[in-house]
Amino acid sequence: MHFRILSQARVRRDIKTRETVSATELIRQAYRYITRNEQVHPRIRQQAQLMLNAFPSHARPTTIRNRCTETGRARGIFRDSRLCRYQFRLKALNGEIPGVKKAVW
């Protein structure tokens, strides 16, 4: 029970982080462009760098962690299905993932 509640919180936090990052992405790219452009006045570049530093930490793209959508697990994630390896196996064996079947040779 406790694990289930914890994993749901992790999934919700991951969704919120992804939404925040996508909402601030355009502004963030503009500030990064200004800070790296050497033709811009140094004072303006410094102001842009301060604005970048003022962004909240959960709005940074590096905070996004690939998590399993079923369990919230952060390791062993397949990018295409966004499932951890165990959930991928269970769904593949049940035939819930189209185009995936057990190998026989």
Confidence at 23, pLDDT banded by 50, 70, 90: very high
- Tell me the C-alpha distance between 73 and 102, whole Å: 23
> In this model, does residue 29 exceed pLDDT 90?
yes
DSSP assignment of the chain equals: -HHHHHHHHHHHHHHHHHHHHHHHHHHHHHHHHHHH-TTS-HHHHHHHHHHHHHS-GGGSGGG-----TTT---SSEETTTTEEHHHHHHHHHTT-STT------
**Higher-confidence position of 5 and 42:** 42
Indicate whether 57 pLDDT > 80: yes
Break the chain into its structural domains and give their ranges.
2-65, 68-105
Give the pLDDT of residue 1: 47
